[in-house]
Structures are given as structure tokens and as C-alpha cells.
Amino acid sequence: MAATSVPSSFAPGTLMMAGLLTVLTSAQGLLTAASKTGGGYAYDFATVPFLAELTKLGISWALLARQRAADPGSVRITRDARTVALFIVPSIIYMFHNNVQVGCLNGCGACLLRG
């Protein structure tokens, strides 16, 4: 019998990236809880999401620049107002998620949060 290849609906590397994002997202809460000393944080807790967003912006910018250098025609900017307005929805969900996560980290330990 000849082996048949099963077509995949995922782009190459998609499953690996999903797994990596899952691990890194879970690690964020654990590392934040682990950095708590004496019932508080030795840093301004609000800077954590800000620095994380700056890091993501830098990575996205670098990947976009690399893609643009490889194939300038493949990078297009959406200018349709209705499409751009849809980007607000995940931002609002992310904002609520961060606020709930901060409350959970302050109210319970990392084991209860992720366990």
C-alpha cells in the first residue's frame, strides 16, 4: 500500500506557534506571581503589560519589515473604516483580560490561578 498524504488546513509552523503562544501566555501569570515579594511587587505592576506590548510591537515591526523587503507587494494596509473598527473588539477583550488577571494575581496565588 502506498502512503497517502493528508492535506493540512494549517500553514507550516502554525501548530508550533500555537503551542509556543500557549506556553508563553501561561508563563506570564506564573512569572508575575513568582516575582511577588513580601506581599507586593518591587516594581510598578502596570509596567508589565506596557513592556510586553512594546516587545510585541517591536517583533511585529521587524517581521513586517522583513516581509516587506522580501515581497513589497504582499504587504497592504487596510484603510476601510469598518474593517479598522473591528480591531477595537479584541483590544477591549484584552483590556478586560489584563484587569481580571491582575485582580486574580493579587487575590490568589499562581497555583490557584493556573491549577
**Residue 40 per-residue DSSP state:** B
**Alpha-carbon gap, residue 47 to 1, rounded angstroms:** 59
Cβ contact 83:74 at 8 Å: no
Above 80 in pLDDT, residue 4? no
**Residue 38 per-residue DSSP state:** T
Stretch among 4-13, 36-45, 96-105 having the lowest mean pLDDT: 4-13
- What pLDDT was estimated at residue 7? 56
The tens digit of pLDDT for each residue in 43-61 reads 777 787 788 788 888 988 9
Beta-bridged to residue 40, according to DSSP, are 37
Above 70 in pLDDT, residue 115? no
